[in-house]
Amino acid sequence: MSIVLDDAYYKLLHDLQAADFVLVELNLYLDTHPDDEAAIQQYNQYAELRKRIAAQYEAQYGPLMHFGHSLSKTPWQWKEAPWPWQV
């Protein structure tokens, strides 16, 4: 089965991965610098950005996470999304 995905799919996925990377790095930094207000502010900004990107992705392409972290429309959307090796 071959799934054709448009450029917008890959842009949103790239933006989501970039935001996740920044959040992981800031999380690690804040583990050793818990009082750095600028880093906390930046972390919160990227957390909000990630939420917006994820919401846009899910509205267009379906859920990103399961077990209650993402909603699904009817019919169940998990079987409709591309598998990682199809991306």
pTM of the model: 0.78
Categorize the per-residue pLDDT at 75 as very low, low, confident or very high, splitting at 50, 70 and 90. low
Residue 26 inside a domain? The answer is: yes
Q: 14 near 52, Cβ under 8 Å?
A: no
Domain range for residue 32?
7-86
Nearest of 60, 80, 81, 77 to residue 15 by alpha carbon: 60
- Number of domains, the chain: 1
Residue 27 inside a domain? The answer is: yes
Residue 19 inside a domain? The answer is: yes
Q: 61 near 10, Cβ under 8 Å?
A: no
SS3 string of 6-42? CHHHHHHHHHHHHHHHHHHHHHHHHHHCCCCHHHHHH
Write out pLDDT tens, residues 20-51: 999 999 999 999 999 999 999 999 999 999 99
